[in-house]
Structure 1
């Protein structure tokens, strides 16, 4: 009953107790976004596949106005499964995987370069902004309560001493966090620009989800190609065996 602003102090202590784990989780999310941006932009294999797709598109559109494109929209990656061959079985994605398997098999595992991509799709930049603001606002309230507690007298001496030590550490942590947050924001925009997209119209979340879906569709098409090739191989072997057995039967009949 004698402690001034006891409710405010309890809220401050709650913030102090959660601060460490809150900062750790927030850093983890920021680093995930950062890693995803760097992995995508530094992936030589992904870049090579993009070139192959552009060449493939220009070859298909040869003789038309779209036959000499210098690039394509990012969402076009997901349309590779829409274009089908006359037999309605093989898509353009299947054909791309087939060509790569025959001519550039080293590119087939490009997804290995993008280890942070899937986890980054679960992070919303808006949520990171809100989290950053909450941490800054929380620290500001701690400072306000610390300043107010100076006039509380002996009843708040221990509170004042404990809080002062916390603020010294927290301020440094928040400054480092703010710098990392700003860097992540720049890298997120740079990711969209890397693909020739406007960050305002094609934000980080859209880029990463599109790329993840492309990876999944690509791997699925490659797996289906491998299964089909295996079936055709077994079929050819079976036909060869039947032909061989038929030849032996004919020779046996002739000898008799």
Structure 2
């Protein structure tokens, strides 16, 4: 690692203490942490009284690090600062995706109308039975529409639904256009978001602890403390904002399950989005297959007409 360093070791440490991102990037700081001396190595070097120029570059590097109290902690703070903006940005992106998906699903009038059609269809099929007057159905029932087949075993209930919609309500067929964030949201785990939120909060707490501990370091940490105080002021505002957004997302994720009459504990956000996404895919596939079938029937009818016409012409010729 040191062979790649193109600056004096003292300048490198000065850049680290100043937390200067224009000189050291995340990979370089990670390497500094990785190659920090162990307690045993520091004890060995503390006892060295000879000329430092006679030491290897690695030992000289260790001596530079040892001039700074709690150097590894400071380097980890620097790394947190470097990664902070991108970490917050990615986290917000995930939170906003979940929020968007929840809003899109709940605001989609087309999806609501399709749900009504499915309920009506189910009640019609179950007429005369105990299940024939249902006021709703379980969300996972959406995926069972492909399981129920007609007597010819070719058409499923999903195909029939698409056929009815194409005939009577064609404007509903593109309901998936309302749910643009659904696929991205289905890949997000709320547990991972919770862990990320905790990592951000704990990371900032460690930064504050190091700031407090550095008060007794003396002049060696003056620039470090000043830079860190400025960063904490900005970071606290960002973390407060993202914490509030995270709380809103949690409420909206639970509300999505409740919107479908499901218990958020038994049917969490992840299950809701995956079920809806699979329904969208099965629906679109069935509709495409219906369209292909209609096209085949048109071509067959056209071919039959052409054959009848040709047959008539041949009969006319033979009559002469």
Common topology (TM > 0.5): yes
| Residue equivalent to 1:163 | 228
Q: Secondary structure at the match of 1:201?
A: coil
Structure 1: runs of 5+ lacking an equivalent:
none
TM-score, L = length of structure 2: 0.79
Which of 283, 290, 296 is the aligned partner of 1:231? 296
- Shift, 1:251, TM fit: 2.3
Which residue of 1 is the match for residue 52 of structure 2? none
TM-superposed deviation, 1:78: 0.2
Of 74, 84, 103, the residue aligned with 1:9 is: 74
Question: C-alpha offsets along residues 133-158 of structure 1, whole Å, 9 cap, x if unaligned?
Answer: 00000000111111111111111111
1:54 paired with 2:126, answer: no
1:41 to 106, 109, 113: 106
SS in 1 for 2:77: helix
1:107-118 aligned at under 5 Å gives the runs: 107-118=172-183
Superposition pairs for residues 26-175 of structure 1, below 5 Å? 26-175=91-240
2:283 equivalent among 210, 218, 222: 218
Q: CA deviation at 1:249?
A: 1.8
Q: Which residue number in structure 1 is paired with residue 274 of structure 2?
A: 209
Question: Could you state the TM-score of these two structures normalised by the residue count of structure 1?
Answer: 0.98
Number of residues of Structure 1 aligned to a counterpart in Structure 2: 255
Q: Distance in 1 between matches of 2:83 and 2:306?
A: 71
For residues 318 and 224 of structure 2, the distance between their equivalents in structure 1, rounded to whole angstroms, comes to 106
* In structure 2, distance between residues paired with 1:135 and 1:234: 62
Partner SS, residue 220 of structure 2 = helix
1:22-47 CA-partner distances (Å, limit 9, x unpaired): 00000010000110000000000000
C-alpha RMSD of matched pairs (Å): 0.6
* Structure 2 unaligned blocks of 5 or more: 1-65
In the alignment, the residues of structure 1 paired with residue 83 and residue 298 of structure 2 have an alpha-carbon distance, to the nearest angstrom, of 61
Corresponding residue for residue 263 of structure 2: 198
| Structure number with higher relative contact order (C-alpha < 8 Å, ≥ 6 residues apart) | 1
Question: 1:188 matched to which residue of 2?
Answer: 253
The CA deviation string for residues 80-129 of structure 1, in whole angstroms up to 9 with x for no partner, is: 00000011000000000000000000000000000000011111000000
- For 1:47 and 1:201, the matched residues in 2 are separated by 22
Q: CA deviation at 1:246?
A: 1.1
